[in-house]
Amino acid sequence: MTPYMFLAQVLSEKYDVDPDTISPEATLTELGLDSLTIVELLFDVEDEFGIEIPEERATFQTLAEAAALVDELVQAKGG
């Protein structure tokens, strides 16, 4: 599963985000996530992909940007 697909799935299944509102351009704030919830979501991502997202890299706004960061970290890990 790609990072984007995973993010979209988790948001709708575990966070009750309406699937119709989920798109690559949507920001996490627009989808109704507060700061603590975003950190929780990143935790789910870290668990799924076996990576650690450095705090200084967590500057993304949109789902596409978040997915790109995860892609990059997975590649760097050798995955």
Partner 1 sequence: MPLRRTFITGIGVVSPHGDNLDEVFDRVFAGESSVRKVPIEANGSRCDMLLSPVDFEPGHLIPKMSGRFMARATKMAVVAAHHALEASGLLVSGAGPAEAGIYLGCGLGGSDELQAHYERFLADPPRRLRAASTPMIMASGPASHISMQYGITGPTMTYSIACVSSAVAIGEAFRAIRHGYLDTALAGGTEAQLNAGALAGWRELSVLASEHTTGAEASSRPFDAQRTGLVLGEGSIILVLESEDAARARGAEPLAEIVGYGVSSDAYNLTEPSSDGQTRAMRLALEDASVAGERIGYVNAHATGTLLGDRVEAEAIRNTFGSHADKLAVSSTKSVHGHLIGAASALETALTVRMLQTGRIAPTANLTDPDPECDLDCVPLVGREAPGLEYALTNSFAFGGSNATLVLRKVLAS
- Out of 46, 48, 65, 71, the only residue in the binding site for partner 1 (CB under 8 A) is 46
Q: Which stretch binds partner 1 (CB under 8 A): 1-9, 18-26, 28-36, 69-77?
A: 28-36
Question: Per CB under 8 A, which region of 1-9, 14-22, 62-70, 71-79 contacts partner 1?
Answer: 14-22
Residue 52 is a binding residue for partner 1 (CB under 8 A): yes
Asked if residues 7 and 41 have their Cβ atoms less than 8 Å apart, the reply is: yes
SS3 sequence of 19-55: HHHCCCCCECCCCCCCHHHHHHHHHHHHHHHCCCCCH
Does residue number 58 form part of the binding site for partner 1 (CB under 8 A)? no
**Which residues, in sequence order, are CB contacts of 21 under 8 Å at separation 6+?**
30, 31
Interface pick for partner 1 out of 43, 58, 61, 77 (rule CB under 8 A): 43
